[in-house]
Amino acid sequence: MKTLLFIAFIFFSPPGNANEEQRIRQLEEKLRCLVCQNQSLADSGAELAGDLRRQVREQVAAGKSDEEIIEFLVQRYGDFVRYEPPFKASTALLWIGPFALLLAAGATLVVVLRRRRNAPEEPALSPDDKRVVDRVLGPQDRA
Amino acid sequence: MKRFLWPLAIFLLLVGFLAAGLQLNPREVPSPLVGRPAPAFELPVLQQADKKFAPSDMRGKVWLLNVWASWCESCRDEHPLLVELSKKGVLPILGLNYKDKGADAERWLAQFGNPYQLSVVDADGRIGIDYGVYGVPETYLIDAEGVIRFKQIGAITPAVLEQKILPLAAALKK
């Protein structure tokens, strides 16, 4: 009986529902819970996250687009709710910083390597030095 | 000697950034609502179920909207401060009773004192979401035009009250 019900459920569940569920899930994973800040709305067990999930669900059902729903939350909680903050003056360092650091490190590497290549060779031993070496170490076989 | 200066400078810069970072409170997310009109609502009043209140009723006044709940521990910390402030009568304080049970809320006020002109009931937390509430208590200072001028996240401390809220309220009243 249970199996029958399950099969009936699969066949008669409204079309597009699975798509909608997936959309809700994806949205909730893009949004941050403000209470447990390292969890997304989808993962957080905080009560506020539950309330916000309900908001997302209602707005999806009301036919709002993903952008509209994210905008709704950003207006209330700020860019912090987005895991992917928009590019603007206050977030420029966040976006450009890593690339700027990489560039600076690369430039430093190039400069250091060049300087090393252009450094004067160690001067060969002067005849006087050579005599001293030979005296101390004994005559050397030099290739 | 000179070759060590650059790494040292970078190291000190990093230490400076980290030291500044340590002073920040990651739980304090700046509200985008400061400087914007307080979101409208119309909610029933606690203990007077037939009455309704809307923020527009306070037009022309500078007032505090304090989000509180009987289940909220830090609300108890700031509560004596609010009671004291209400006795001075400098600023009207209105409460937003957030996701609470009516009976619990009334008992809480009876036990700790009621500093609020009135409290509105936001039983399912929807208006809280409109106000960007994420950690009760939160307090909003709203000006005569209905614009949010300051938001305190977490309990109000005497320092915040004396140094931020009261001077700002006095300036807004002029």
CB contact under 8 A, B129 and A78: no
In a domain, A142, yes or no: no
Tens digits of residue pLDDT in B57-113: 999 999 999 999 999 999 999 999 999 999 998 999 999 999 999 999 999 999 999
Same domain assignment for residues A56 and A99: no
Same domain assignment for residues A69 and A133: no
Same domain assignment for residues A75 and A9: yes
User: Residue B39: which of B80, B70, B67, B10 has the closest Cα?
Assistant: B67
C-alpha distances out from residue B149 to B82, B103, B120, Å: 19, 32, 21
Same domain assignment for residues A71 and A23: yes
The pLDDT score that the predictor gives to residue A1 is 67
What are the φ/ψ torsions at residue B118 (nearest 5 degrees)? -165, 160
Same domain assignment for residues A8 and A56: yes
The pLDDT score that the predictor gives to residue A3 is 72
Same domain assignment for residues A54 and A102: no
Name the one residue in this structure whose structure tokens are 């002109």.
B117
The pLDDT score that the predictor gives to residue A138 is 78
- Taken in order of first residue, the domains within chain B and their CATH numbers are 37-173 (3.40.30.10)
Same domain assignment for residues A58 and A97: no
In a domain, A17, yes or no: yes
| Chain A contact for B27 (CB, 8 A cutoff) | yes
Same domain assignment for residues A66 and A117: no
| Chain B contact for A71 (CB, 8 A cutoff) | no
| Chain B contact for A49 (CB, 8 A cutoff) | no
The answer to whether B158 touches B81, Cβ cutoff 8 Å, is: yes
Q: Measure CA of the first residue to CA of the last residue in chain B; give whole Å.
A: 61
Q: What's the rounded Cα separation, in Å, for the pair A124 and B97?
A: 87
Confidence band for B156, pLDDT divided at 50, 70 and 90: very high
In a domain, A19, yes or no: yes
The pLDDT score that the predictor gives to residue B111 is 95
Q: Is the ipTM of this complex over 0.85?
A: no
Same domain assignment for residues A70 and A99: no
Strands of B119-122's sheet, edge to edge?
A: B48-53, B43-45, B119-122, B93-98, B63-68, B138-142, B148-153
User: Residue A28: which of A9, A8, A51 has the closest Cα?
Assistant: A51
Q: What's the rounded Cα separation, in Å, for the pair B169 and A120?
A: 71
CB contact under 8 A, A77 and B32: yes
Among the partner-chain residues A48, A75, A79, the one whose CB lies closest to the CB of B134 is A48
Same domain assignment for residues A72 and A98: no
Low-confidence ranges of chain A (pLDDT < 70): 1-2, 4-16, 140-143
DSSP-derived secondary structure letter, A81: G
Percentage of residues in chain B having pLDDT higher than 70: 99
Q: Is the pLDDT of residue B14 over 60?
A: yes
Q: Which CATH number goes with the domain that contains A75?
A: 1.10.8.640
Instruction: Give the CA angle between residues A127, A130, A134 to the nearest 5°.
Output: 140
Distance of CA A3 to the CA centre of its chain: 44
The pLDDT score that the predictor gives to residue A18 is 81
Same domain assignment for residues A13 and A76: yes
Confidence band for B38, pLDDT divided at 50, 70 and 90: very high
The answer to whether A86 touches A70, Cβ cutoff 8 Å, is: no
The pLDDT score that the predictor gives to residue A121 is 74
In a domain, A80, yes or no: yes
**Mean pLDDT on B49-55:** 92
In a domain, A70, yes or no: yes
The pLDDT score that the predictor gives to residue B36 is 94
CB contact under 8 A, B134 and A47: no
Confidence band for B11, pLDDT divided at 50, 70 and 90: very high
Tokens of A28: 């909730």
The pLDDT score that the predictor gives to residue B64 is 96
Domains in chain A, number: 2
The pLDDT score that the predictor gives to residue B27 is 77
In a domain, A143, yes or no: no
CB contact under 8 A, A78 and B27: no
Bridge pairing between strands B43-45 and B63-68: unpaired
Tokens of B142: 């709203």
Same domain assignment for residues A8 and A36: yes
Q: Is the pLDDT of residue B1 over 70?
A: no
Structural domain containing residue A110: 90-137
